[in-house]
Amino acid sequence: MNTWTARIARLIVILIAIATLVGMVAVDKWWVRVFDFPRLQMSILLTLAIVLLFATKSKRLVLWVGVGVLALGYQLVQILPYSALAPKQAVDAVNCPAVDRLHIVSLNVLQDNRDFDRAIAYLLEQDADIILAMENDQAWTDALSAALDADYPHSVKIPQDNTYGMALWSRLELVNVERNELAGGGTPSIRARIRREDGSMPTLFAVHPRPPHPGQDSGQRDAELMLLADLVRGSGRPTIVVGDFNDVGWSHVTETFQRVGQVIDPRIGRGYHASFDATNPLMRWPLDHLFHTDDFGVINFARGPAVGSDHFPLEVELCQQAARFAPQQEAPELTGEAMDDAREELDDAAEGGEGPDAERLTPINDGDEHEALSPAD
């Protein structure tokens, strides 16, 4: 029995060590990028395998444990910032006046899900200022509109039957509303400014790029996030980005998005908050995100309950007080390397026929020491 247990433990170490090495390769192939997602699961399996190797006194114990510890160390370095053990990237907001609060709920409803009432009951109970729904086809748009329009007089609705529909409801006035398809492919995004009671007008971006999966590499997703980062950085402050990124926060692409967009991740230091897959407790990772500029502090960041979708909702309440919070926090540094990485992602996507041609991108001088990316006319 011990022999077979040791063999299984060694096999786990071998497979996850290979997955770790493959995941370190900077290419957009779907079968490489999928290893970005299950880092927590791989860490748990490696820990179990290492314990079993010791318990069974496996052959070449030092070798196998050494390989396992190296792979485990790499995985933990990636995910530990998304635990309560790490320092918070976004500061806590305490004693925030009501006028400065902004409560946002985002939910990928799952297009094929037809339990409208369960999702609607949850959204009405949340009583958020802004609601973002994704994967809404016409049936979902109609059901949500019937329930929300009375209390949310401002909305943007883009029903689609390709699982990339999107809709935004707001109690606050939405102005300068734009619908974009940054990387094409029928994946819309929304940009709007929110007119607050105090007269400020933060910019809100809502996004839902396509994920890597068999038959579809990550090039289109990566290109969309790089172009979005450029728009975010050029939009001025304050700015919020929310949506189903189909990517995890620790991936190189999302890290580059943060650096180029100059936004803060409130999930860092507050916990894993896995938003997908709500139907499978063994395979969960954080795909739904909210990022913001340093004008905001965080009152609450939480994952909502199951509402019939394969995603859990994301619940975030922010406090907008730039003078108070900006000196206490900062986005990851924008470096020349990050800009080069962003351009490389766009070049790779263009070469693979999955994103915009890199020639559409024109360097502009935005007042910083680094150039920004900007779509040309």
369, part of any domain:
no
Q: Could you give the CA distance from residue 243 to residue 222 in angstroms, rounded to a whole number?
A: 15
Q: Which of 312, 328, 344 is the last residue of a domain?
A: 328
Q: Which of 290, 307, 328 is the last residue of a domain?
A: 328
Provide the 3-class DSSP secondary structure of residue 165.
coil
Q: What is the pLDDT of residue 352?
A: 64
H or E stretch at 191: strand 189-195
Q: Which of 49-53, 171-175, 259-263, 362-366 has the lowest mean pLDDT?
A: 362-366
Q: Could you give the CA distance from residue 201 to residue 101 in angstroms, rounded to a whole number?
A: 13
Domain match, 77 and 104 both: no
Task: Check pLDDT > 60 for residue 367.
Answer: no
Give the residue-averaged pLDDT of 199-220. Answer: 93
Q: Which of 77-81, 251-255, 358-362 has the lowest mean pLDDT?
A: 358-362
Domain match, 72 and 122 both: no
Q: Which of 25, 49, 82 is the last residue of a domain?
A: 82
Domain match, 37 and 104 both: no
Domain match, 189 and 297 both: yes
Q: What is the pLDDT of residue 356?
A: 54
297, part of any domain:
yes
Q: What is the pLDDT of residue 372?
A: 47
Nearest to 118 by CA among 315, 284, 311, 309: 309
119, part of any domain:
yes
Domain match, 161 and 307 both: yes
Q: What is the CATH number of the domain that holds 154?
A: 3.60.10.10
Domain match, 24 and 68 both: yes
Residue range 291-342, pLDDT digits in tens:
999 999 999 999 999 999 999 999 999 999 999 999 999 999 999 999 999 9
Domain match, 309 and 190 both: yes
Domain match, 269 and 131 both: yes
136, part of any domain:
yes
Domain match, 293 and 227 both: yes
How many other β-carbons are positioned within 10 Å of the β-carbon of residue 366?
Answer: 14
What stretches of the chain show up as alpha helix (H) in DSSP?
A: 2-23, 30-33, 39-55, 61-79, 116-126, 138-148, 219-234, 252-261, 322-325, 336-351
Residue range 174-197, pLDDT digits in tens:
999 999 999 888 999 999 999 998
160, part of any domain:
yes
Domain match, 106 and 72 both: no
Residue 369 is which amino acid? E
341, part of any domain:
no
What residue numbers bound the domain in which 46 lies?
2-82
Query: Considering the chain, what is the average pLDDT of its residues?
Result: 91
The number of folded domains in the chain is 2
348, part of any domain:
no
Domain match, 272 and 135 both: yes
93, part of any domain:
no
Domain match, 319 and 294 both: yes
Q: In what order do the strands lie in the sheet with 130-134?
A: 154-158, 166-170, 130-134, 101-108, 314-320, 296-303
Q: What is the pLDDT of residue 374?
A: 44
Q: What percent of the chain has pLDDT over 70?
A: 93
Per-residue confidence band for 347, with pLDDT thresholds at 50, 70 and 90: confident
